[in-house]
Amino acid sequence: MVAMTTTPTRLPGSLPGALHLGGLTVETPVVLAPMAGITNAAYRRLCLEQMQAVGADGVFVCEMITSRGLVEGDAMTRSMLVFDELETRRSVQLYGTDPIHVGKAAEILCAEYGVAHIDLNFGCPVPKVTRKGGGGALPWKRGLLGAILENAVRAAAPYDVPVTMKTRKGIDDDHLTYLDAGRIAQEAGCAAIALHGRTVEQAYSGTADWASIAELVDHVDIPVLGNGDIWEATDALRMVEETGVAGVVVGRGCLGRPWLFRDLAAAFRGERIATLPRLGEVAAMMRRHAELLSLHMGEERGCKEFRKHVSWYLKGFPVGGALRHSLALIDSLATLDVLLSELDPDAVFPVAELGAPRGRQGTPRKRVVLPDGWLDDADGRDWLMAEDVSAASGG
């Protein structure tokens, strides 16, 4: 556990209570979004440790798993289903375009992996996913979406495991699907729906449309979770106030800042904990992260996996280019220790980075890649396709 310097103050106003997902109660209504190559067991534990440090617990979702790979026993898919001993509430995001495979995969997750929550991905904007009609493209096919959700809910019901879905506003501004998706999710028996306030065309660019999230809240009776542009705990509270969501989903805002979950936990119980770690504290967090990766993957692979996180942790700190470069090439914990010792432990947190976007942003897509004739039929009940997408980012 890494200690962090914090400054607590009371926050005014009403706050949402616990998040209820079927029979599952989450006292702190905060969800870590699944992010490919990021939210492995090590990172989930790191964020969970921060929440538990202030006596809280949220939902920490495993990287996305493909239903076909799981059903067919693909070794790579199965290897992603690793959970840390601290994870007493296992949550997995499932991807699929075939109702039969999704239903079978949901049953496997419940029966063999003891998951407590299944989330279905209908928000991914990555072209290799949308060109197969998956991710954020699939809700256009209302009939197909309903069939997938119904099969997943039916498979998970005997295990009392709630099924939720995550989606975007739609393919683009001319092909919006989120209100229909919410209605279909409710009718299928989903426990909640999470909405990222961007279209597939936007990807991660621009500003999230929280007004659409508020509209969905008014449109359905099941809990709605808001996603998009939550960079600080105060953003989460503002989203709750502006939209009425039952909870929030946090993705890119926590990159290089696992302590954001400590701030979020405090915020949802009425306190503002502004975690502004000095560089020495950040270095300790970096070491903890690399240690957990090594524990789960072995030191060589764990250190390689850690490299991508270096720039996020050091964003805004006065660290020379040569040292940054060396840290991004570490091959052992011993090397990491030597390099971290070169950082100035007293360097203050760069407050200019607060509230600033993190991770990928990019620009809107010139066009969304879809299967031929995808937009000609909005039902798609008979549309079945091969799931040959091996990996994709969270939506």
Write the CATH number for 244: 3.20.20.70
Chain-centroid distance, C-alpha 227:
9
CATH code of the domain covering residue 288: 1.10.1200
Which amino acid would we find at residue 57?
D
Helical (H) or strand (E) element with 281: helix 279-297
Is the separation of the CB atoms in 268 and 239 below 8 Å?
no
Whether 387 shows a pLDDT value over 60: the answer reads no
Quote the pLDDT of residue 9.
46
84 shares a domain with 72: yes
- Whole-prediction pTM: 0.92
Is the separation of the CB atoms in 258 and 46 below 8 Å?
yes
Range of the domain at 105: 18-275
Which amino acid would we find at residue 117?
H
Quote the pLDDT of residue 381.
65
Cα(127)–Cα(352) distance, integer angstroms: 34
Quote the pLDDT of residue 374.
94
Q: What angle do CA 276, 279, 285 make, to 5 degrees?
A: 85
Mean of the pLDDT values across residues 199-227? Answer: 97
11 falls in which pLDDT band (50, 70, 90)? very low
Phi, psi of 215, deg, nearest 5: -65, -40
109 shares a domain with 185: yes
100 shares a domain with 69: yes
Per the DSSP assignment, residues forming a β-bridge with 95 are: 66
Is the separation of the CB atoms in 178 and 210 below 8 Å?
no
If we measure between CA atoms, which residue out of 154, 144, 61 comes closest to residue 103? 154
Strand positions, DSSP E, the chain? 8-10, 19-21, 24-26, 30-32, 59-66, 91-95, 117-122, 163-168, 170-172, 175-176, 192-196, 224-227, 247-250, 271-273
For residue 224, count CB atoms less than 10 angstroms from its CB and return exposed for 0-12, middle for 13-18, buried for 19 or more: buried
Cα torsion 21, 23, 24, 27: sign: positive
202 shares a domain with 147: yes
Domain boundary among 329, 348, 367: 348
Cα(179)–Cα(145) distance, integer angstroms: 13
For the chain, the maximum distance between any two Cα atoms, rounded to a whole number of angstroms, is: 61
Q: What is the mean pLDDT of the chain?
A: 92
Cα(91)–Cα(1) distance, integer angstroms: 22
Residue from 110, 124, 254, 303 carrying the catalytic annotation: 124
Total domains, the chain: 2
Quote the pLDDT of residue 361.
79
Quote the pLDDT of residue 391.
39
CA distances from 291 to 20, 286, 298 (A): 34, 9, 9
174 shares a domain with 27: yes
Cα(116)–Cα(223) distance, integer angstroms: 17
Quote the pLDDT of residue 274.
78
Q: Could you read off the pLDDT of 193-207 as tens digits, one per residue? A: 999 999 999 999 999
299-307 helix and 333-340 helix, angle to the nearest 10 degrees: 40
Percent of the chain topping pLDDT 70: 93
For residue 162, tell me if it sits in a domain: yes
For residue 386, tell me if it sits in a domain: no
198 shares a domain with 117: yes
Helical (H) or strand (E) element with 145: helix 142-156
For residue 4, tell me if it sits in a domain: no
Domain boundary among 242, 275, 308: 275
Strand, coil or helix: 334: helix
Is there a catalytic annotation at residue 303? no
Residues shown for the chain? 395
Cα(289)–Cα(254) distance, integer angstroms: 13
For residue 362, tell me if it sits in a domain: no
For residue 354, tell me if it sits in a domain: no
The DSSP output letter for 55 is T
